[in-house]
Amino acid sequence: MLATVPVRERGETRPAVALRWAEPSAGGAEVTAPYLLTTAVFDGSPPAVPVVPGVHTHSDGLLVWPHHGSLTLHTRDTVRRLVPGQGIWLPPGTPHDSWSDPGSVSCYTYVTSAAIPPHWTAQRPLRVRRALQEMLLHLDATPMPDDLRLRTQRVVIELLEEDPCPAIDVPVPADARIRALADDVMRDPESELSLEAWAARHALSVRTVNRAFGRDVGMSFARWRSLVRMSEATTLLAQGRPVNLVAHRCGYSTTSAFSAAFRRVTGVSPTGYLREQTVPAQSGH
């Protein structure tokens, strides 16, 4: 039941090239009848089957979720960092690209169109509890009679639920020139470079950058960069990193400044976020 899935070479955590959204590739495995879903699991070892690189789509619905570590999911307008317990549902035909942090175990559960709940017509954050993760991995690794597999798959779909503590959505500019700048910022969230310096690096004027962020993202560059840093922060916090280290990794010189910024974006303190998040303990695979 193992499926192919587009992934990047292991160890490459963030692409240094622009993603191509105009003509996404159609790739990946489809669920084989009479089954309702199938899960691809990638743990850093070389894939046994070819994978499709770059921006792509699937004819099946797709649930993207990490079992260990974290992964980054790009869609046309948004970037999300996911940690265990978090998942994103992508309806059939949604262009996307993803990659995992080193040492992570990333999972991609395809759901056949006939089994998708009628109201799942848009992207949505889903909670993937530890018990549900183990059920999906069990289905992937264990031979069983077809009737038992189908009953279990139906239960899995029924157990999927909205995530009350979803990953932070980081919107991205539509303009390819500005998106290249945004990608650079997201690759280096602790950088102290000013907007003027980032614009100069990309041969852009500050006015052009500000106009694009206001038009495409609906916020200033400074506010957007805070969102990028908080997305990184939630991932690091969920991995058990100390708050003072997370503050430094996200570009803040003091823990108090970081905590204040974190509260502005998420509505809670870093420690409060951890209490609400209740990310399951990570385990090897």
Give the per-residue pLDDT at 2: 36
- Which region among 194-198, 260-264, 272-276 has the lowest average model confidence (pLDDT)? 272-276
Percent of the chain, pLDDT > 70? 87
Q: Where are the beta strands (DSSP E) in the chain?
A: 25-26, 37-42, 56-57, 61-68, 71-75, 78-82, 86-90, 96-100, 105-111, 124-127, 161-162, 170-171
List, for residues 238-251, the tens digit of each pLDDT value: 888 899 999 999 99
Is the pLDDT score of 233 beyond 80? yes
User: Hey, how many other C-beta atoms are within 10 angstroms of the C-beta on 158?
Assistant: 9
pLDDT-above-90 percentage for the chain:
63
* CA distance linking residue 262 with residue 124, whole number of Å: 23
pTM for the whole structure: 0.83
- Mean pLDDT, rounded, of the chain: 86
**pLDDT of 281 higher than 50:** no
Burial zone of 45 (CB within 10 Å; 0-12 exposed, 13-18 middle, 19+ buried): exposed
Residues near 23 by beta carbon (within 8 Å), at least 6 away in sequence: none
Selected residue with higher pLDDT from 30 and 182: 182
The model's confidence at residue 49, banded by pLDDT at 50, 70 and 90, is: low
Mean pLDDT to the nearest integer, 40-57: 77
Residue located via tokens 């999906």: 136
pLDDT at 9 over 50: no
Residue 50: per-residue pLDDT? 59
The better pLDDT of the pair 255, 280 is held by: 255
pLDDT in tens, 141-176: 999 999 999 999 999 999 999 988 788 999 999 888
Q: Indicate the pLDDT class of residue 178, thresholds 50, 70 and 90.
A: very high
Q: What is the pLDDT of residues 187-224, one digit of tens each?
A: 899 999 999 999 999 999 999 999 999 999 999 999 99
